[in-house]
Every structure is written in C-alpha cells, then in structure tokens.
Amino acid sequence: MPHDPVPGLLSRATELLEKQFAALPAFESAADTSAMVRVLEDVARRMGDSYPFFHPLYAGQMLKPPHPVARAAYALAMTLNPNNHARDGGRASSEMEIEAVQGIAGIFGWTEFLGHLTSSGTLANLEALWVAGQLAPDKRIVGSEQAHYTHRRISAVLKLEYASIAADYRGRMSVPALETELRKGDVGTVVVTLGTTALGAVDPLDEVLALREKYNFRVHVDAAYGGYFRLISLAEPAQRAFAVIDQADSIVIDPHKHGLQPYGCGCVLFRDPSVGRFYKHDSPYTYFTSKQLHLHPSEQKSLAGDPVHLGEISLECSRAGASAVALWATQQLLPLVPGGEFARGLALGRSAALDLDRRLREDRTGRFQPLAVGAPELDIVVWKMNAKTPELSSELAQRIFTACAARDLHLALVQLPLAWFEPVSESESVIAVETVTCLRSVLMKPEHEVWMDSIWERLTASCAEVMREYRS
Ligand SMILES: Cc1ncc(COP(=O)(O)O)c(C=O)c1O
C-alpha cells in the first residue's frame, strides 16, 4: 500500500494550520470518539474488498491513484471542510481553485477565459452543453458514437436533440459522416472527444474546425480523459488535433482522471468569458460581488480584478473546497509544463501502452488480434482474442480476464465493433452492428513501464492456461 512517503507530512502541516486558529477559546467536541477505533477498523476490513488500484498490476479501468501530496492536502483541508460555492464557504480554497484552474487553462494556452472545477467530468460536460443550449436552443448536439455515453443523456436532460456520428476504424469521429449531418443545417454544437473512453482515440479536431468555417457551429472538446496529453508529444494525427485545442469554444478536462486527484474533481473552461451572463441567479443566501459577470457582453468591461464567487459561474451549489486545495498543491509540486515531471509521468504510461501493443502484434502464437489499424493514440490498449467465431473470441476474453485476476493482474473488458479488427482502409467509417468482447488495458501509471515484463508474463501465462483448458 502507498504509505505516506514523507513521515509526518500531514501532522506537521496540520499543526501549522491549527496554530493559526489558536487564539480562539478552546471547546469540547460533541463527537463521541469512544467507538471510533473499532469503526475505522471495520472500514479497513470492508475496503479490503477492492481491486488494488494503487498497484502497477492494476492495469484495467481508468483509475489512477492520487498523488500523495494531493491526498495529504485534501486531508489537511478537511480539518476545515471548505465549500467552494462562495467565498463565505471557502475563502482560501476559492483563491486556490482560481489559481489551479488558471494552471489548467494554461495547458491550452488560454489566459482570458471562464472556468472552474466541478464534481465530475459529467457535470463539466453538462455545463458546456447547457451553455451551448443557451446560445442555440433549437439546434442539435452531435458527437461520435464513441463519445462518452453521458452526452446523449445530458442532452436529454437539457431537452436538446442529440445525434451520433459514425466512428472510423480507429474509433475516431468520421469527418465525412459529420459533414453529412452538418449539411442538414441544424447542428448547433459538435462534441469532439480527445481521448475516448474505450480506446483513447483522438477525434480529428483540426478537420472539425475546418468544417466550422463552412457550417458555423460550436465546438465542445471533451478532453476529460485526454486533456493532459497536450503536454507531451504524440504521433500524428493526434498531435495535430491537440495542437489546435485552443480554438475550441469549451473544453472539459478531469483532474480526477490523469491529474493525480481524488475523485470529485472535474473542470470546465469556456473560451469566451462573457458566457458568465447565463449563470445569473437570484439566491438570497450568497453575496454577489462581480459587477461585470452577468451583464450582456456589450456592457462588460474586463473581468480582470473583478472578484467572482465560484457559485456565480457554476451550475452546482456546494462543492468540495478540499478538491481545489489538493489540485493546487499537486500543481505546485508538479507544474503543468511540457518536459516537467508531470508530463514525464504521462509519457511513461504511453510508452508502456506502445510496448504492450507491440508485444501483442509481435506475439508469434497468433492468439492476439490488436486493432487492425494503428498503435494506441494515448495510453489505452485493446485487443481481441483470435478465435473461429466472435462468440468464442468473447468467451476467451472473459476467461482470460478472470485467469489474469487470479494472477493479480487486473485488466478490463470492452465491447467493440468486430469490423475494427478486420483489414480495412484507414479512412472508412463503420456501421457497427456486430460487436465482440475485447480485453482492454489502461496504462495510466508511470510505474507501468517498468512493470511491463511482469504484466506480459502474467497475461501470456493466463492465456496459455485458458487455451489448454479449451483444447482438453
Ligand atoms: C471522455 C470522457 N468523458 C466524460 C467522462 C465522464 O467523466 P466522469 O466519470 O468524471 O463523470 C469520461 C469518464 O470516463 C470520459 O472518459
């Protein structure tokens, strides 16, 4: 288990924080502490029934352990439990949120923008689509069929019509299929995913932006998973897509995915700060301080220096200030710059993914079938098992998944179109009818790179065992 790497890290900082409140009269806490030890031991026993997400042999779903400094800063902030809805609930933590969000916007080269943290990527996307709907209430939202499933649901909640665009053989939005929809003249917003959930595929943002010139729609980039990859070099065409992310109208990125944060930390950014006018509400409980934000853009002067309550620019009310504190601390330690330690960590996971993909392709037994076209664009690897029928292939994947888990190697399963594994021309899109269960590995941890021999050994031993059972 990842114990605190610096002994006394949290207790020293807690002492420092407590000193600043030492002038207050002492008081007895109303909490009955007598049963706490027993209850916490019960918690530890219950929590043992979890996958070991912190370990490099956990290589399944999108789960990345928070950085130790994020865990410590979160715990420290919990002694106060700030609420970042408004400065009345979290004075210091609101400032830290504003600074941390500036750091995130800096990844995309944005300095003047509107943005804040959210409880999740889903809520961040909801805000982006809500703003899109305020600007074009009668127009449709479209996204690739590989876009996160919540976009359709969010659109339904917002009473906006949503349509799926076919994906190509690498899981990227098909541009010809998108243009067919655009020609209908009623598309208000295109959701472009940079890093899909299943494959880590990168939609061709550069080509979508070229279409925006012709068809005039809003571009929302869902980079909940992939956003931080803007900091490292990728292969083409993903590199081209990330290079123009600053031209999006809105961007979602999840610090609780690749940003080393505890859950409860998404982020939404808008290129045009004047969309703040849509957030005007009439709560009598919190104190509005911005004189500019809710004015029409024609009446707004610069927002710089205009103190904003985060609740004035977000749909959620209460939100964990501790999330902002943890993020701020992490970004102090690991600045979000190309070539820095944070970026190196991302590059190591990606290099592990390329290594696993190469081993699968070069395996001489022919039992593995990676995607027909191309290596992983980010750090997610998928493959199907070679078998006579899709049903048998799916069954093998399921059994290997279980056999790997018995060897402490935790992978994931995903349903993908069968056609993606057949030889094809790269630009074609697919009407995905038949699917097959595939194995999937999200290699998010820097440690995965040095653990690849061990991962490979356990995977191949599990395959051999399952194949033996089939033959006998
Ligand atoms: C591309 C993408 N968008 C949105 C989401 C939803 O984010 P959250 O789980 O933080 O709500 C995910 C989650 O996996 C995702 O991969």
Phi, psi (deg, nearest 5) at residue 413: -120, 150
Q: Is the CB of 151 under 6 A from ligand 1?
A: no
% of the chain surpassing 90 pLDDT: 83
For residue range 307-334, list pLDDT tens digits in order.
567 777 899 999 999 999 999 999 999 9
pLDDT score, position 311: 74
Of residues 378 and 298, more confidence is placed in 378
pLDDT score, position 294: 60
Closest-CA residue, ligand 1 atom 5, reads 121
User: Quick check: 301 pLDDT over 60?
Assistant: no
Number of H helices, E strands in the chain: 13, 11
Q: Is the CB of 261 under 6 A from ligand 1?
A: no
Give the mean model confidence (pLDDT) for residues 184-203: 98
Q: How far is the centre of ligand 1, averaged over its atoms, from the C-alpha of 197 (Å)?
A: 7
pLDDT score, position 426: 53
Best mean pLDDT range from 80-94, 420-434, 453-467: 453-467
Query: Can you tell me the distance from the alpha carbon of 368 to that of 372, in angstroms, rounded to the nearest whole number?
Result: 11
Give the mean model confidence (pLDDT) for residues 24-39: 92
Residue 419 DSSP class: G
Q: Is the CB of 312 under 6 A from ligand 1?
A: no
Give the mean model confidence (pLDDT) for residues 163-174: 96
Q: What's the whole-number average pLDDT of the chain?
A: 93
User: Quick check: 355 pLDDT over 90?
Assistant: yes
Q: Is the CB of 144 under 6 A from ligand 1?
A: no
For residue range 392-435, list pLDDT tens digits in order.
999 999 999 999 999 999 999 999 999 899 866 555 555 556 89
pLDDT score, position 2: 67
Q: How far is the centre of ligand 1, averaged over its atoms, from the C-alpha of 263 (Å)?
A: 12
Closest-CA residue, ligand 1 atom 16, reads 197
Give the pLDDT band of residue 281 (cuts 50, 70, 90): confident
Give the mean model confidence (pLDDT) for residues 271-289: 78
pLDDT score, position 424: 60
Q: How far is the centre of ligand 1, averaged over its atoms, from the C-alpha of 95 (Å)?
A: 26
Best mean pLDDT range from 32-46, 215-229, 363-377: 215-229
Q: How far is the centre of ligand 1, averaged over its atoms, from the C-alpha of 148 (Å)?
A: 6
> From the CA atom positions of the chain, what is the Rg in Å?
24
Alpha helices in 311-375 (DSSP H): 321-333, 341-362
Closest-CA residue, ligand 1 atom 7, reads 121
Give the mean model confidence (pLDDT) for residues 425-453: 84
Q: Is the CB of 200 under 6 A from ligand 1?
A: no
pTM of the model as a whole? 0.94
3-class secondary-structure state, position 442: strand
Give the pLDDT band of residue 6 (cuts 50, 70, 90): confident
Q: Is the CB of 120 under 6 A from ligand 1?
A: yes
Sort 259 into a burial class: Cβ within 10 Å, 0-12 / 13-18 / 19+: buried
Can you read off the two tokens belonging to residue 335?
A: 């600045």
Query: Can you tell me the distance from the alpha carbon of 38 to that of 26, in angstroms, rounded to the nearest whole number?
Result: 27
Nearest to 196 by CA among 232, 165, 156, 231: 165
Give the pLDDT band of residue 279 (cuts 50, 70, 90): confident
Give the mean model confidence (pLDDT) for residues 63-74: 97
Give the mean model confidence (pLDDT) for residues 359-376: 93
For residue range 53-65, list pLDDT tens digits in order.
999 999 999 999 9
Give the pLDDT band of residue 32 (cuts 50, 70, 90): confident
Q: Is the CB of 155 under 6 A from ligand 1?
A: no
Give the mean model confidence (pLDDT) for residues 425-450: 82
Q: Is the CB of 254 under 6 A from ligand 1?
A: yes
Query: Can you tell me the distance from the alpha carbon of 105 to that of 115, in angstroms, rounded to the nearest whole number?
Result: 8
- Give 381-398 as a DSSP string: EEEEE--SSHHHHHHHHH
% of the chain surpassing 70 pLDDT: 91
pLDDT score, position 300: 57
Q: Is the CB of 359 under 6 A from ligand 1?
A: no
Give the pLDDT band of residue 114 (cuts 50, 70, 90): very high
Q: Which atom of ligand 1 is nearest to the CA of 122?
A: 11
For residue range 240-255, list pLDDT tens digits in order.
999 999 999 999 999 9
Give the mean model confidence (pLDDT) for residues 213-222: 98
Q: Is the CB of 84 under 6 A from ligand 1?
A: no
Query: Can you tell me the distance from the alpha carbon of 455 to that of 409, in angstroms, rounded to the nearest whole number?
Result: 7
Beta bridge partners of 189: 141, 218
